[in-house]
Chains A and B, each alone.
Chain A
Amino acid sequence: MSEVDMAVIKPEMMKSYIWLQTADGSIQQVEQEVAMFCPMICHEVIQKGMGSSKNYAISLPQRVNPAMLSLILDYCRFHQVPGRSNKERKSFDEKFIRMDTKRLCELTSAADSLQLKPLVDLTSRALARIIEGKSPEEIREIFHLPDDLTEEEKLEPLKNTTDDPRIRLLNRLYAKKRKELKERQKLKNVEVEEERVDDRSVDDLLSFINGDNGDSKGIKTSKSKKKNRRRKDQQKNTSANEVLKTHNKELNGLNSVCCSAEVGQKSRGGVGATSNLNDVEDDIFTSKNELDDGDIDDEIDPALKEKIDREVEDFARRLNSDWPERMQEILSFGHERKPVHFSLNGNGSLRRYANSEQR
């Protein structure tokens, strides 16, 4: 008798069943729609015509023992019903995976051999959550893993990527490109700087304040300022020191001037003087800036530097209490520095000269 006849003879068996055999030899029959939820079983039935009777039971992979098969079929039985909501399915899944780690591993393996991807994902994620945040020692304990790494390997958490010749070449190319970009930028900046630096006004300012002997010294210093950007030179450092000392003297001179300027603030003359002083301050700051670049820095006493910084700053604060926007205006409209001549008048206040002879 054929299988078809057998089915006809047993009318009470309305449902179709698939016959499955696990590696231990035991055979069971499973509702067709449940079993067919597993792609591997589906394939066997459709492509190879297996599973329709006890003699033609589908041999399941070795990784699927009867206990695992039972779990898998529970999963399939629930999920193959089409009408369930996502919430229901999620709730089922959460309860379903509550089992010990060993069973989870076996279940993952079994589901994988039956190609039941949704279940593989579910159990894998559960195992991932167990691994997350654990130390290597803890992971070894939970999963009974051997401690078989060499001492060397334990010290090297990452495979040394710089060993890969492709990566080494890549990094060398990066370094080269970055260097090129910087060289180009440097050249551009140096050119631009040399155009803009206007030393003469500052020197004149210094020499005026220091009297005649400051003249040649000032000019020498300005040239060395530029060269100092490129090389260290003892001689230039000492000259810079001297300039700083005179700088300090300047401040004292200007401080007294400032007082008189404040007194005279209301009058028109006072107003003029204050604005002049703002320019002075600007030029002093710029000269200080140039001095401080490059290698001169190391030679000067840091305490003195801070003292100067603070003094200049206090001075500036006093000056600028009434003229913030005006200052910003002056600085932004004049892209070149305004060269300024100063002389001390009899009464101790500064008088500004026209700058026409400067250029």
Chain B
Amino acid sequence: MDFTMILPEECQSLIMSFTSPADAFRSAMVCQALRSAVDFDAVWEKFLPSDYKSIILGSSSPSSLLSLGMKELYLQLCFHPILLQNGTMSFQLEKGSGKKCYMLGARALSISWGDIPHHWTWTPQPDSRFPEVAELELVWWLEVKGRIETRILSPNTKYAAYLVFKLKIRFTAWFRERPVTLNVNVDGVVSGEGRRVSLDPRDEPRHVRERGDGWMEVEMGEFLNEFGDDGTVEFSLKEIDTRYIKRGLIIEGIEIRRNA
């Protein structure tokens, strides 16, 4: 006796909807019956965030996205981030859990001296999802800040923030053995000094890693989002020892995604 003989497909898909996207993908590998039960719209609509419709309508993506099947829409949102807020922010889903994942583009960040071409320039990069990235020409005072409202994040989720960046090959000397301070603050609650990390992958092979999309990332910190009522979370990158110059950093943005 197999349970797919006992249970009608609607029951099977109800059961699947109580699991997780990762479980659903695994279940699709079990047998034909489960594979088709997993395909039901009801299952994937449950996995999508409850406000998915308004997010899509508020994005730069066509609203025809909403006419896709729920599973297709889910996968689309996992693999193709959509742009929000005039192309300064991106949104996608984490495939295994369905949790929301945002990236604040460089234009959405507060960069000290960022509007002065001597210090920072804004250029398009072919492997960036945003129209522009921030390129550091030269500063003594390196300070980059970002913020996000906890209410737009998935509830009951532990999140981590990652600086998404590159180092211009020529200038990797500038960050070699020169750690920067990375910090995450939830609604003004100062969570300590922040962490001192070098952005040069040669110094920190464990912390600075390749993302696989042409960029590197380094974790800035983590926080727990329970009910989305913790106000704003602030992220900062800071290195303001003005005895030495900083050059050659290219910032795509800050990604906020679920921390396993």
Contact = CB atoms under 8 A, between A and B. Distances in A.
B29 interface: yes
B87 A181 contact: yes
Interface stretch (A85-93, A106-114, A230-238): A106-114
A146 interface: yes
B215 interface: no
Contact of B23 (A124, A131, A286): A131
Given A109-B11, A186-B124, A309 B3 contact: no
A54 to B, nearest CB: 30
Interface in A306-359: 306, 309-310, 313, 316-317, 320-321, 324-325, 327-328, 331-332, 335, 337
Contact of A182 (B131, B174, B247): B131
A185 B23 contact: no
A7 B129 CA distance: 77
5 contacts: A140-B31, A170-B64, A189-B121, A320-B245, A332-B113
B32 A149 contact: yes
Interface stretch (A12-20, A40-48, A153-161, A217-225): A153-161
A121 to B, nearest CB: 8
A352 B108 CA distance: 42
B224 interface: no
Contact of B243 (A134, A164, A320): A320
B80 interface: yes
A59 B124 CA distance: 71
Interface of A: 63, 101-102, 105-106, 108-109, 112, 120-121, 124-125, 127-128, 131-136, 139-140, 143-149, 153-154, 157-159, 161, 164, 166-167, 170-171, 173-174, 177-178, 181-186, 189, 192, 196, 285-286, 289, 292, 297, 305-306, 309-310, 313, 316-317, 320-321, 324-325, 327-328, 331-332, 335, 337
B27 A131 contact: yes
A325 B7 CA distance: 74
A174 B62 CA distance: 9
Contacts of B122: 185, 189
B6 interface: yes
Contact of A124 (B15, B28, B31, B35): B15
Contacts of B18: 124-125, 127-128
B72 interface: yes
A246 B61 CA distance: 53
Interface string B1-37: 1111011101100111011100101111111111100
Given A106-B6, A320-B244, A289 B137 contact: yes
A321 B243 contact: yes
Interface residues of B, number: 70
A154 B29 contact: yes
B242 interface: yes
B87 to A, nearest CB: 7
Contacts of B140: 320, 324, 327-328
B173 interface: yes
Contacts of A128: 15-16, 18-19, 23
Lowest 8 CB-CB distances: which A-B pairs, in order? A324-B242, A128-B18, A309-B173, A182-B124, A181-B131, A136-B29, A143-B3, A185-B124
Interface of B: 1-4, 6-8, 10-11, 14-16, 18-20, 23, 25-35, 39, 60-62, 64-65, 67-68, 71-72, 75-76, 79-80, 87, 113, 116-119, 121-124, 126, 129, 131-132, 137-138, 140-141, 168-171, 173-174, 242-245, 247
Contacts of B72: 161, 164, 166-167
Contacts, number: 191
Contact of B29 (A101, A149, A170, A178): A149
| Most chain B CB neighbours (cut-off 10 Å) among A121, A161, A184 | A161
Contacts of A186: 123-124
Contacts of B138: 285-286, 289
Contacts of A337: 118
A325 B124 contact: no
B80 A174 contact: yes
Contacts of A320: 140, 242-245
Given A297-B169, A309-B170, 4 more contacts: A139-B34, A158-B28, A161-B76, A182-B124
A147 B68 contact: no
A332 B242 contact: no
A166 B68 contact: yes
Contact of B141 (A105, A145, A328): A328
B124 A313 contact: no
A170 B72 CA distance: 12
Contacts of B129: 178
